[in-house]
Amino acid sequence: MTKRIRWSDNDRYFGPFTYARDSRHYRPFSVMLGSGSEDYPECRLRLSGFGHTLLIALPAIIKPWRHWVDTSHYGWSDNPSGGYWDEHGTEYGFTLVEGALHLHYGPQTHDSETTKSKCWFLPWRSWRHVRHTLYDLEGAFFADLPKWGFRHKNGWEVRNAIEAACPTASFEFDDFDGERITAKTKIEEREWRFGEGKFKWLSLFRRNKISRSLDIQFSAETGERKGSWKGGTIGHSIGMLPGELHEAAFRRYCAEHSMTFVAPAQGTSASGQDAQQLGAKPAGPVGSGADDAP
C-alpha cells in the first residue's frame, strides 16, 4: 500500500494524492519527479504553481542513488560490514522560486562532486550590490570600500586596511550573568540596485535598497549559550534606526538583550586623510553609487 507523502502542515490526502496550499512565503512553480530516499522512500511527482502543490505517489520507476562507503581501513570503524550505504534521492525536473531557477537532473547528494543540479538567478529579479560605506564617530562619511576579488588586484588588502583605519567606538556593559565585557562598534551602510547584467536599467524604476548597520565586536562571548558547546556570540551587526549613532544604537541593543550598559570605553580614531591614502574613494553624495550606473 502506498504511503501518504507529507509536504506541509496543511496536507490533505486523497488516495495516492497529496494536496497542499503553499504559504505566502514559499510559492514555487515546479515539476519534479523524485525517487524518495531512505527517510522518505516513496517515489513521487510534484506539481506546484499559483500557491498550490499536488504530489502523486508513484511506483518505484526511478531508484535512489546509493554509494558504498568503505570504513574498514579506519581504526575507529567497528561496523561488522566494514562500511555503510550512503543513500540520497534522485530527482528530475525544475523549480522556479524566489527569483531563481533550480534544475535537478539526477542524484541530489548535497555534495558538489556528485550532486546533479544547477541554479540560475534571474537577472530581472535580482539585486546587485553597488556600495559598502563606512562612517565615522559622528556618522559622517569616512570611506567607500573598494571591490575585491580576482579581478580587483589588492582589493582585499586595501579593504582590510581601510576598515582597520575607520573610527570605532567602544563601550563597557555587563552581560546577563554580570560579566563585564567591552564592545567595539563601527557604522556601515550598504546599497543595492535592482537588476543585473543587461537588466540594470530596471533600477531606473525601483528605489534603491539602503541598509545602515552597527557592526559590534565583543571582547568575550556573550549570551546565555556562552561556555556551552553551542557557544555564545562574539560579534554581529544590528540595524540602525534613523538618527542613531554608536551609543544610542548600542544602548538599544543592550536593553533588548538582557545586558546592562555601563559607560563608553576608550575608543580609537582615524582621519579621512588616512582613508584616502589607503586607496578609498573621496567623499561624495551618499547613496549615489556613481560607479555602477544606471
Where along the chain do its domains lie? Answer: 12-121, 128-292
Contact 253, 237 (CB under 8 A): no
C-alpha span between 237 and 253 (Å, rounded): 10
Residue 283 is predicted with a pLDDT of 43
In this predicted structure, what is the pLDDT of residue 286? 40
Output the pLDDT for position 2: 59
pLDDT value at residue 271: 46
| Res 36: pLDDT | 86
Residues 193 and 202: their CA atoms lie apart, in Å, by 9
Which residues of the chain have a pLDDT value below 70? Answer: 1-2, 149-152, 267-294
Measure the CA–CA gap between 55 and 168, rounded to whole angstroms.
Answer: 55
